[in-house]
């Protein structure tokens, strides 16, 4: 019989970059918030309080704290020693665009390429990448994947009525970087770049129609013409997670289910004019998971989930379905105003 294990984390892009560049990332996101809202960005009081008199020092501290949180999770992964990691992430108009955009898809190849540092271009980034991972920013990884377990999950889902797409090739006419950032970043932050634990990448269209935000070809009227579909429902994603648990438990594999995402993003939270994350709502959700009540997420859906900037929480909803009534031990969490997101790290027991 198989076994389902679980951790949850984030794939924050700024950890791919040198600590001194976090404030540059923040400025870019505040500019994006202005573009999307059509209003000048106004710092919320919580952000002003956190940034204080020395924002650079605060940014470096947050960079370090996130790395420490990943190191703690890696200890749990090593203790579990899974046969594979089912990594659940969103694509953000990288490998998947309107011409081929399933609500969810699974990678079933035996290996996957990734060139994860292609966007790492700020001052000092090349040295940071070499210092942290020992490679040049142009480096391409080839990571092992657990094709047998992936095929079992795919076929088991289809037989249960979940028409999941599958692929063994992520390259398209516009995308040449292999595994997209939600999965590749998490792989690197968990220090699994040696491929010790084979991957099973699972993709969820977390952004739905708002995926046009990340597509340079889709702006204004072009976004509507692009035809981005709505995101899959929370109830459906939770049910798919529960089905994945059944499939793994009936298999011979020990699989670590790992949803990866930031929860509420400041620049996505439209009910606060994209200037403040939904700390109150995310704190409530965190309490549900800690109490083993992840089933409550089935009813957290559009349009509320988008208004609260929680698009990527859909990755965690799949994970919550796979974990059922297990309680989440939160190893670290932070409403990080300097990095404009609600981050959660935890282990399901």
pTM above 0.85, yes or no: yes
DSSP string of 261-327, one letter each residue: --SSBGGG-GGGTTSS--HHHHHHHHHHHHTT-GGGGGG--TTHHHHTT-TTHHHHHHHHHHHTTPP
The residues, any chain, with a CB within 8 Å of residue 1's CB and separated by 6 or more, are 249, 250, 252
CA distances from 223 to 212, 265, 307 (A): 6, 21, 19
Residues composing the chain: 349
Tokens of 78: 């090593």
Task: Going residue by residue through the chain, which has 349 residues, state the pLDDT in tens, using 9 for 90 and above.
Answer: 899 999 999 999 999 999 999 999 999 999 999 999 999 999 999 999 999 999 999 999 999 999 999 999 999 999 999 999 999 999 998 988 878 889 999 999 999 999 999 988 899 999 999 999 999 999 999 999 999 999 999 999 999 999 999 999 998 878 999 999 999 999 999 999 999 999 999 999 999 989 888 876 665 555 555 678 899 999 999 999 999 999 999 999 999 999 999 999 999 999 999 999 999 999 999 999 999 999 999 999 999 999 999 999 999 999 999 999 999 999 999 999 999 999 999 999 9
pLDDT at 312 (0 to 100): 98
Share above pLDDT 90 across residues of the chain, in percent, rounded to a whole number: 89
Tokens of 66: 């996130």
Tokens of 77: 């992964």
CA distances from 15 to 39, 114, 186, 258 (A): 28, 17, 10, 18
Dmax (CA) for the chain in angstroms is 58
Cα gap 290→142, rounded to integer Å:
36
pLDDT at 307 (0 to 100): 97
CA distances from 262 to 102, 168, 257 (A): 22, 27, 16
H or E segment to which residue 34 belongs:
helix 22-37
């Amino acid at each position: 019989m198989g076994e389902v294990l679980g951790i949850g984390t984030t794939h924050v892009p700024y950890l791919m970059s040198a600590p001194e560049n976090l404030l540059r990332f923040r400025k870019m996101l505040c500019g994006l918030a202005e573009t999307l809202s059509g209003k000048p960005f106004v710092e919320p009081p919580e952000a002003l309080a956190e940034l204080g008199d020395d924002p650079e020092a605060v940014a470096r501290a947050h960079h370090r704290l996130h790395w420490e949180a990943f190191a703690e999770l890696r200890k749990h992964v090593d203790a579990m020693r899974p046969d594979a990691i089912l990594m659940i992430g969103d694509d953000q108009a990288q490998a998947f665009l309107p011409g081929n955009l399933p609500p969810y898809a699974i990678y079933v190849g035996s290996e996957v390429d990734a060139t994860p540092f292609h966007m790492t271009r700020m001052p000092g980034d090349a040295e940071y990448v070499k210092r942290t991972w020992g490679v040049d920013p142009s480096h391409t990884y080839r990571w092992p994947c657990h094709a047998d377990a992936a095929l079992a999950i795919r076929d088991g889902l289809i037989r249960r009525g979940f028409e999941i797409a599958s692929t063994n090739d992520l390259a398209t006419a516009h995308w040449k970087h292999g595994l997209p950032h939600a999965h590749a970043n998490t792989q690197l932050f968990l220090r699994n770049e040696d491929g010790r634990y084979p991957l099973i990448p699972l993709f969820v269209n977390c952004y739905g129609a708002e995926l046009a935000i990340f597509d340079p070809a889709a702006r204004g009227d072009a976004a509507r013409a692009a035809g981005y579909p709505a995101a899959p429902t929370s109830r459906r994603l939770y049910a798919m997670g529960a089905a994945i648990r059944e499939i793994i438990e009936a298999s011979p594999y020990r699989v670590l289910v790992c949803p990866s995402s930031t929860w509420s993003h400041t620049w996505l939270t439209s009910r606060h004019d994209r200037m403040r994350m939904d700390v109150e709502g995310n704190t409530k959700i965190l309490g549900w998971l800690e109490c083993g009540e992840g089933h409550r997420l089935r009813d957290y859906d559009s349009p509320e989930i988008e208004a609260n900037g929680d698009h990527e929480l859909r990755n965690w909803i799949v994970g919550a379905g796979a974990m059922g009534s297990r309680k989440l031990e939160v190893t670290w969490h932070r409403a990080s105003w300097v990095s404009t997101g609600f981050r959660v790290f935890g282990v399901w027991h």
